[in-house]
Amino acid sequence: MTATAQAHDMVQIAAAAADSKGGEDLVALDVSGPLPLIDVFLLVTGRSERNVAAIADEIEDKLLEAGHKRLRREGRSESRWVLLDFGDLVVHVFHEEERVYYGLERLWKDCPTVPIELPARTAVED
């Protein structure tokens, strides 16, 4: 089984939102084989608790604007690892230390990656 087109679209929306708030090391994994109720995990790293919260809030806002319903959110109060469940897509926004410690990439290493296309950034001149 492979991730749906809708899940791929959701990944692009979420990735662009994360990137706009300074999210780093974005990785999307197609987990539809081992997890029949979820298509894709999107993993994102933030540099601080404040950054993790901002990234998670922006992702949530952009997916809601696109008409996707959030089913669950966990970890927002601590902002060390925020989980956003949108059904087909589950977003994990980690603080750097938690990303390394939990190593979800290692746990799901057999799953194929989903390509992420980020919008081109324009240089701002002073």
Per the domain annotation, does 123 fall within a domain? no
Q: Taking the CB of residue 76, how many other CB atoms lie within 10 A of it?
A: 15
- Neighbouring residues of 58: CB distance < 8 A, sequence distance ≥ 6: 17, 18, 20, 21
Residue 122: the pLDDT is 58
Distance of CA 42 to the CA centre of its chain: 3
Per the domain annotation, does 116 fall within a domain? no
Q: CATH number of the domain that 100 lies in?
A: 3.30.460.10
Answer for the pair 66, 13: CB distance below 8 angstroms, yes or no: yes
Q: Into how many domains does the chain fold? A: 1
Residue 47: the pLDDT is 95
The string over 85-96, giving b where at least 16 C-beta atoms fall within 10 Å of a residue's C-beta and e elsewhere, is: ebbbbbbbbbbb
Residue 42: the pLDDT is 98
Distance of alpha carbon 38 from alpha carbon 32, whole angstroms: 6
Residue 36: the pLDDT is 83
Residue 2: the pLDDT is 82
Per the domain annotation, does 113 fall within a domain? no
Residue 45: the pLDDT is 97
3-state secondary structure of 23: coil
Per the domain annotation, does 125 fall within a domain? no
Q: Which residues of the chain have pLDDT under 50?
A: 125-126
Per the domain annotation, does 48 fall within a domain? yes
Per the domain annotation, does 121 fall within a domain? no
Residue 124: the pLDDT is 56
Per the domain annotation, does 38 fall within a domain? yes
Residue 120: the pLDDT is 76
Residue 126: the pLDDT is 43
Dihedral sign of CA atoms 92, 7, 38, 2 in order: negative
Range of the domain at 57: 5-107
